[in-house]
Chains A and B, each alone.
Chain A
């Protein structure tokens, strides 16, 4: 064994084992002789400590080598296994290929022999016909010859007559037919063509067969995969399919068309050619179902179509309705529009907390499977959150909506402008209400919107329905007559705030002599005097203690506390009893005294 000899001839060159192919064992491992380092070889004469150290070092080295060797062995075994697998596959494939070839050649031979038989039979038939014709011509010729001979004999006989008169007499009798006969021209041309009519053999089909022996068969129908999660976008679908491993395919054709629920007619389909077994179809409609199928084509032909698969594009992102969102230190109510004409399966609300020192944030929480276009989210007080919504269907989630920033320092609400009395106008930012001097036309007053305040020039706020503590402030002019407080959402629209059992409010009245303040509920107010007119009023609603308190914010002065029994959620309410304006200040952290 050459390898072995080399190993012995050059000791210490390598410490690795070598393997060689032996006759008996396919893989034979053969340790190198003289290759393992000797602990006492060249280092003889060193002291014991060094020896011990060396020994340890050597041992370590041996262990390392052994490990390396074990690794190699494992690798080799692995490789051998692979080879075996490949061998089996090759054998298998070869067998199949052989069978395939054999069958093809059999087919070709069969076809050829069939052709041969057909051609031979044809030629035989032609030969027979020609012979028959020639034979009958031969017979005719013989007969003509016989008749000629007979006439000649007769003529000779008459010629020998003595009587020339008789001869002449007979002549008219006899020579007439003779002359006639002589007139008959005997056809001496061959009635049949000597050439055999051999049309060119059409062997194109055989040729095709021969050719097809060298190419693969036409592919079978591909298998289209069901839609994978997160493979779709608003306008595109990533489609995947597979086929039997034997098939060779030059390209695929993917067909797709939208599934229209409202019409029975099928929509026209589009097709694309692709080389890969996947394709991203673009320019689609959002939140729509598509029917897709695929065929495979190679030089031999086109496969049958796959099954039809249903895929769905993801919805368009929802649109957050900022003016209909509200929040408080413990929660936020987010409302949005679907953004899609067709219904989606659900919505996902994603929220992340904004770090105090920067805009960096990551998704910290997702609320999934929200069935409607609103979601009440529990939050921590005193933070800032970024909130976005996605619409979800079977195809996956849409892109994020615009992000809304929610700050949980205080309570934030917008006004329910559809409740506003016709004389009331609301500023662009939604927080200042005006009651103008000018008379409104009767037509404007005659609005029969059931939700609108009809007598009290009032508007309701849209407070988040959370039974916690809420605080907001109202800025007024001390010449403005106003009512501010809370009311049930269904408080009588034809009655004044505080005049009924469904509203609680602080009222400012300007009398000729002084400013009068009332704290009205059910038409009754305690009798109290306030020496400094509040121009910024804090309103503290505490569902836990069932109280509604008012403060002069500038003085931190407590003005009044209603002790109520709130049967259901209340809404902030604001009204102006004379022309003027008031401004609602929102999202303010409640001062400590507001909920003492």
Chain B
């Protein structure tokens, strides 16, 4: 195990490294200052990264996932190698913080950080996933890998799709592009979101809106975004009204925020679905990151 010491004295520990699609799929561990715990993240380094600085695509995973799901199931590496993108996939929540109730349910606590900065006890110390993925992690990545800090994008699945959308909408110009698979588009209105937001942010619903893609889209102003969303038509969570893409589309249509929303017949909420359209998403990001 090799240790890397960055300028900002952030220590990375390599957990694994595998040659993949001409480059390397690696996993690192570090001590997160935001989350006050050890965090793992996956990073794919394309062959191009050996000689040049590459743009970075941040991938935010869905409920229950770790950094492993995406790198083992989504099949993103060939396409990332082709377009010369570094893909960084963090874990979905702090782990091992010994907070009471963190492991009680699969849609709250561990594996369900919801990419918010919690304001409520006992979560507010560790559950700062929004700051982690938008601030600490990019700094860490830019300090340790051959990246071009000016060129980053964000994408994700389900809860991660929600994360990707709010990261882009809350930080105009920070991300060159955004895409999502089956995102939770309007968490304020769905059971998952209501459960998580009330837990992390408290009962004041107005505070929730700062992390709701549909609400954020309605007030978005900034550089033009190009949002690509794929949604399986046979997704059980779509029919369970957890995802609510129509609400987001309605707002974006009204606000003229460019969205291409593709309802893919026969596909469900799984990685099989994502795998099927991953290339389109990588290409979508590459178009803006390599422009």
Q: Would B291 and A593 count as touching, CB distance under 8 A?
A: yes
Q: Would A527 and B263 count as touching, CB distance under 8 A?
A: yes
> In whole angstroms, how far apart are the Cα atoms of A40 and B221 in the complex?
105
Q: Would A556 and B226 count as touching, CB distance under 8 A?
A: yes
Given A593-B291, A596-B287; A528-B263 close (CB under 8 Å): yes
Q: Which residues in B have their C-beta under 8 angstroms from that of A596?
A: 283, 286-287
Q: Would A555 and B226 count as touching, CB distance under 8 A?
A: yes
In-complex Cβ contact of A559 among B224, B260, B263 (8 A)? B260
Q: Which residues in B have their C-beta under 8 angstroms from that of A526?
A: 262-265
Interface stretch of the complex, out of A232-240, A502-510, A529-537: A529-537
Number of interchain pairs (Cβ within 8 Å): 59
Q: Is the interface of B mostly helix, strand, loop or mixed?
A: mixed
Q: Would A555 and B258 count as touching, CB distance under 8 A?
A: yes
Query: How would residues 558 to 596 of chain A score, 1 for a CB under 8 Å from any chain B CB and 0 otherwise?
Result: 111000000000000000000000000000000011001
Closest to A560 in B: B260
Q: Would B260 and A528 count as touching, CB distance under 8 A?
A: yes
Q: Would A531 and B287 count as touching, CB distance under 8 A?
A: no
Q: Which residues in A have their C-beta under 8 angstroms from that of B284?
A: 558
Nearest CB on B from A528, distance (A): 4
Q: Which of B244-285 contact A (CB under 8 A)?
A: 249, 252-253, 256-265, 283-284
Residue A557, interface by CB 8 Å: yes
Q: Which residues in B have their C-beta under 8 angstroms from that of A306?
A: none
Residue A408, interface by CB 8 Å: no
Q: Would A530 and B233 count as touching, CB distance under 8 A?
A: no
> In whole angstroms, how far apart are the Cα atoms of A552 and B226 in the complex?
11
Q: Which residues in A have their C-beta under 8 angstroms from that of B291?
A: 592-593
Q: Which residues in A have their C-beta under 8 angstroms from that of B256?
A: 531-532
Q: Would B233 and A557 count as touching, CB distance under 8 A?
A: no
Q: Would B262 and A527 count as touching, CB distance under 8 A?
A: yes
In-complex Cβ contact of A531 among B253, B263, B265, B283 (8 A)? B253
Q: Would B249 and A531 count as touching, CB distance under 8 A?
A: yes
Q: Would A557 and B260 count as touching, CB distance under 8 A?
A: yes
Q: Which of B177-215 contact A (CB under 8 A)?
A: none
Q: Which residues in B have their C-beta under 8 angstroms from that of A558?
A: 226, 228, 260, 284, 287
Q: Would A531 and B233 count as touching, CB distance under 8 A?
A: no
Number of B residues near A (Cβ < 8 Å) is 22
Q: Which residues in B have their C-beta under 8 angstroms from that of A514?
A: 253
Q: Would B233 and A529 count as touching, CB distance under 8 A?
A: no
Q: Which residues in B have their C-beta under 8 angstroms from that of A529?
A: 249, 259-261, 263
Q: Would A552 and B287 count as touching, CB distance under 8 A?
A: no
Q: Which residues in A have their C-beta under 8 angstroms from that of B260?
A: 528-531, 557-560
Closest to B83 in A: A596
Closest to B249 in A: A529
> In whole angstroms, how far apart are the Cα atoms of A557 and B262 in the complex?
14
Closest to B233 in A: A527
In-complex Cβ contact of B262 among A528, A531, A532, A555 (8 A)? A528
Q: Which residues in A have their C-beta under 8 angstroms from that of B228?
A: 558
Q: Which residues in B have their C-beta under 8 angstroms from that of A559?
A: 260
> In whole angstroms, how far apart are the Cα atoms of A531 and B259 in the complex?
5
Q: Would B257 and A531 count as touching, CB distance under 8 A?
A: yes
In-complex Cβ contact of B224 among A530, A555, A560 (8 A)? A555
Interface centre among B256, B283, B287 (most CB of A within 10 A): B287
Q: Which residues in B have their C-beta under 8 angstroms from that of A555?
A: 224, 226, 258
Nearest CB on A from B288, distance (A): 9
Query: How would residues 529 to 554 of chain A score, 1 for a CB under 8 Å from any chain B CB and 0 otherwise?
Result: 11110000000000000000000100
Nearest CB on B from A81, distance (A): 78
> In whole angstroms, how far apart are the Cα atoms of A593 and B291 in the complex?
8
Given A558-B287, A596-B286; A552-B261 close (CB under 8 Å): no
Q: Would B226 and A530 count as touching, CB distance under 8 A?
A: no
> In whole angstroms, how far apart are the Cα atoms of A589 and B260 in the complex?
24
Q: Which residues in B have their C-beta under 8 angstroms from that of A556?
A: 226, 287
> In whole angstroms, how far apart are the Cα atoms of A33 and B286 in the complex?
97
Q: Which of A52-84 contact B (CB under 8 A)?
A: none
A to B CB contacts below 8 Å, 13 in the list: A526-B262, A526-B265, A528-B261, A530-B260, A530-B261, A531-B253, A531-B261, A532-B257, A532-B259, A555-B224, A555-B226, A560-B260, A596-B287
Given A531-B252, A532-B258, 14 extra CB contacts under 8 A: A526-B263, A526-B264, A526-B265, A528-B262, A529-B260, A531-B260, A556-B226, A557-B226, A558-B228, A558-B284, A592-B291, A593-B287, A593-B291, A596-B287
- CB-based closest 10 A-B pairs: A527-B263, A531-B252, A531-B259, A529-B261, A531-B253, A528-B262, A532-B258, A555-B258, A593-B287, A557-B258
Interface residues of A (CB under 8 A from B): 514, 526-532, 552, 555-560, 592-593, 596
